Chain A
Amino acid sequence: MTSLWLIRGVRPYGEDPVDLLLRDGAIAEVGVGLVDNDAEVLDAGGLIALPGLVDLHTHLREPGREDAETVQTGSRAAALGGFTAVHAMANTDPVADTAGVVEQVWRLGREAGLVDVAPVGAVTVGLAGTQLAELGAMADSPARVRVFSDDGFCVADPALMRRALEYVKAFDGVIAQHAEEPRLTQGAQMHEGVLSARLGLAGWPSVAEEAIIARDVLLAAHVGSRLHVCHVSTRGSVDIVARAKADGVAVTCEVTPHHLLLTDEYVTGYDPLFKVNPPLRTADDVDALRAGLADGTIDAIATDHAPHAMEDKECEWAMARPGMLGLEQALSVAVEAMIETGLLDWRGLADRMSVRPARIGQLDGHGQPLEVGRPANLVLVDPDVRRVVSSADLASRARNTPYAQRELPARVVATFLRGRPTVLDGKAQR
């Protein structure tokens, strides 16, 4: 496949149409009426160009659960969703708590060649929450790990969390906290509220998330460290982060697409496709999350793409694993929740799905503006189509999408990674 592309008539950030010439992995020219007789031409009339999306929170499941997802299939799902970089979470088997495992995941990502796979390192050995993993070794490995997380588990021990926040300063790392006070969520199955009372499912109270975030922003302020909070899901969490930011704490946070769209009402039928951690919350929380994302309190949309084998979802609610797919529908969900509501424009969406997540993850080649000389990592979106999601058509190996049969706006037409198309006409190129 050639690496010289002329993209005609595309609207960067939804603004006036221009032509983009991509050469040698970079944006070589931007202008109207560009000509290059050697270039492959892509007529992008009506399409919007955004910098390639960056996901701070992806579960690729390899090594260990290749029946649910592999780096290859997850990379394909990511590219189809418009992503050019993803952060692969550490809760694999074996856990990504050594330089060897993160390096393996990083190499698998390079071999797949569809997105840049940035491994996340575990904070503690085996995600057990008792002993720091060799964070420095992971940072110094070829995988160049900068984000560390025990995601799936909270670093609940405050002393250990403090040490982790301090230690990663040596290599400018960041701890991404899964905020869940474990004693308040024992056996928890869904958001604690009116519906959990009716459905007889043990409640996961908002305060279990908020209490940890409050503690951690205080710790981060005390030791002068950066903190990133994974998948905030409640109004209270948004309020705490907003106040911490106002106080000058170096805290960032993310929200998932599903928390921007779905509520705990979906639990009513006990279908574990809607079981996720943190759980789906109330409509009031959804409103607060959208507002927080719009005003910048929430920095990023991160998918928490969590593939699961069929048998882990076709079962009783309590026995099912939490998590849902997100990569392929993330942009569409964001368009419905944020663009169609007028809360963000396309530039704002690019900021939350590319610019800021790339900065938080320290991925230099990503999240760059669509300007001459910048890396040619970009996505072309058709904003005018609406499509019904079919779980059979997903590129993920798993099928646990909560959006099946739902009509969503916008479609990723093409994705370019360093000037080469990973997706063309909505089809993955590898």
Chain B
Amino acid sequence: MKQHLLSAADLDLGDATLILDTAAQIDAALAGREVKKLPTLRGRTVVNLFFEDSTRTRISFELAAKRLSADVINFAAKGSSVSKGESLKDTALTLEAMGADAIVCRHSASGAPHRLAEWVQGSVINAGDGTHEHPTQALLDAYTIRRRLGRLDGVRVTIVGDVLHSRVARSNVLLLDTLGAQITLVAPPTLLPVGIGSWPVEVSYDLDAVLVKADVVMMLRVQQERMNASYFPSAREYSRRYGLDARRMAVLPEDAIVMHPGPMNRGMEIAAEVADSVRSTIVEQVSNGLSVRMAVLYLLLGGDSK
């Protein structure tokens, strides 16, 4: 494994499989235990450096680190020194001086964790950077698929929605391709990036045409700010053409699952009866996120001390 987890492309098949297997072992080790805590990272310091509000991701990382007995510092950069003009570099050097072993970074600017990694000794984990990547989300999605379907190799995954701006989509494409899945992206042409022809995916503008052969349907959140920027005429039209409702869910193969990274726009990209159906893995994804993030922290920080 590399020192940092900045992109899903940092993981080869061996690394990715190791993380998923480790997550499974952690799940097994903690199953049924009253005290859900391992001593692995005692004395290590994990900083959650969040320049963007994301309560669910931050809590997930915080709990993951605490369950590994690490000391956890939450540095919500909004409203702190950063908004008073302190640079990312100064923040990095400050955390470095405090002895952070790992920095979990969420930032609105693509590539910010890459910059951070140049300025600190510890490991940097990308917890979502702008419209670039969110590798632990992809790992938890892969883990969820493997648990539900028993495999990843050859699984047909359809990712639907705002691929252009989605860090979830980018990381999933990279990781799922590494793991042998067949990926289809579905979106209105306005929400697919120029240059997508070089991605290891198939592209379709027609959701109905691809659903019948999807083992996994992953719905992406449509951000509010896209609604009035002419990416599509209206929320209603988007929902009609690219939303997953009960009628569409009915054409899915028997064992197919429905995923969403959250938070959902119910009634927009996903209908309530779909989100709450037995096919939906949305709640599982959250708990799997905890296991996968424990595995990542353990593998990046555990064992040999630097």
Q: Whose C-beta in chain B lies nearest to the C-beta of A272?
A: B115
Q: Whose C-beta in chain A lies nearest to the C-beta of B87?
A: A315
Q: Whose C-beta in chain A lies nearest to the C-beta of B199?
A: A197
A194 touches which of B89, B108, B110, B195 (Cβ 8 Å): B195
Does B195 contact A195, Cβ atoms closer than 8 Å? yes
Q: CB-CB contacts of A289-324 with B at 8 A, as 1s and 0s?
A: 000000000000000000000010011111100000
Residues of chain A contacted by B198 (CB below 8 angstroms): 194, 197-198
Whether B31 is near chain A, meaning CB under 8 Å from some CB there, is no
- Complex: how many Å from CA A314 to CA B131? 20
Q: Whose C-beta in chain B lies nearest to the C-beta of A269?
A: B114
A317 in contact with B89 given A199-B132, A200-B133 (CB within 8 Å): no
A203 in contact with B89 given A270-B115, A316-B107 (CB within 8 Å): no
- Complex: how many Å from CA A29 to CA B200? 67
Q: Whose C-beta in chain B lies nearest to the C-beta of A190?
A: B110
Does B111 contact A316, Cβ atoms closer than 8 Å? yes
A203 to chain B, nearest CB (A): 6
Does A318 contact B130, Cβ atoms closer than 8 Å? yes
A315 in contact with B170 given A192-B195, A194-B195, A203-B194 (CB within 8 Å): no
Q: CB-CB contacts of B119-151 with A at 8 A, as 1s and 0s?
A: 000000000011111000000000000000000
B79 to chain A, nearest CB (A): 18
B132 touches which of A192, A194, A200, A315 (Cβ 8 Å): A200
Whether B167 is near chain A, meaning CB under 8 Å from some CB there, is yes
Residues of chain A contacted by B108 (CB below 8 angstroms): 318
A270 in contact with B196 given A200-B167, A318-B109 (CB within 8 Å): no
Does B115 contact A316, Cβ atoms closer than 8 Å? yes
Whether B235 is near chain A, meaning CB under 8 Å from some CB there, is no
Does B111 contact A315, Cβ atoms closer than 8 Å? no
Does B89 contact A315, Cβ atoms closer than 8 Å? yes
Residues of chain B contacted by A270 (CB below 8 angstroms): 110-112, 114-115
Does B132 contact A196, Cβ atoms closer than 8 Å? no
Whether B193 is near chain A, meaning CB under 8 Å from some CB there, is yes
- Complex: how many Å from CA A315 to CA B51? 14
Does B196 contact A200, Cβ atoms closer than 8 Å? no
Whether A262 is near chain B, meaning CB under 8 Å from some CB there, is no
Whether A201 is near chain B, meaning CB under 8 Å from some CB there, is yes
For chain A, give the interface size range: 20 to 34
Does B109 contact A196, Cβ atoms closer than 8 Å? no
A141 to chain B, nearest CB (A): 38
Residues of chain B contacted by A194 (CB below 8 angstroms): 195, 197-198
Q: Whose C-beta in chain A lies nearest to the C-beta of B119?
A: A314
Q: Whose C-beta in chain B lies nearest to the C-beta of A193?
A: B195
Residues of chain A contacted by B167 (CB below 8 angstroms): 200
Residues of chain A contacted by B115 (CB below 8 angstroms): 270-271, 315-317
A173 to chain B, nearest CB (A): 38
Whether A205 is near chain B, meaning CB under 8 Å from some CB there, is yes
Q: Whose C-beta in chain A lies nearest to the C-beta of B114?
A: A270
B87 touches which of A199, A205, A271, A311 (Cβ 8 Å): A311
- Complex: how many Å from CA A189 to CA B130? 12
B173 to chain A, nearest CB (A): 10
- Complex: how many Å from CA A203 to CA B130? 14
Which residues 191-225 in B have Cβ within 8 Å of A in the complex? 193-199
Whether B88 is near chain A, meaning CB under 8 Å from some CB there, is yes
Q: CB-CB contacts of A181-215 with B at 8 A, as 1s and 0s?
A: 00000000100111111111111010000000000
Residues of chain B contacted by A193 (CB below 8 angstroms): 194-195
Residues of chain B contacted by A319 (CB below 8 angstroms): 109
- Complex: how many Å from CA A315 to CA B193? 25
Does B87 contact A196, Cβ atoms closer than 8 Å? no
Interface core residue of B108, B133, B195 (most chain A CB under 10 Å): B195
- Complex: how many Å from CA A172 to CA B109? 45
Does B194 contact A317, Cβ atoms closer than 8 Å? no
Does A317 contact B195, Cβ atoms closer than 8 Å? no
Q: Whose C-beta in chain B lies nearest to the C-beta of A314?
A: B89
Does B193 contact A196, Cβ atoms closer than 8 Å? yes
- Complex: how many Å from CA A198 to CA B111? 11
A400 to chain B, nearest CB (A): 15
A-B pairs with beta carbons under 8 Å apart, 19 shown: A192-B195, A193-B194, A196-B195, A197-B198, A198-B170, A199-B132, A200-B129, A200-B130, A200-B132, A201-B111, A201-B132, A205-B194, A314-B87, A315-B89, A315-B115, A316-B88, A318-B108, A318-B130, A319-B109
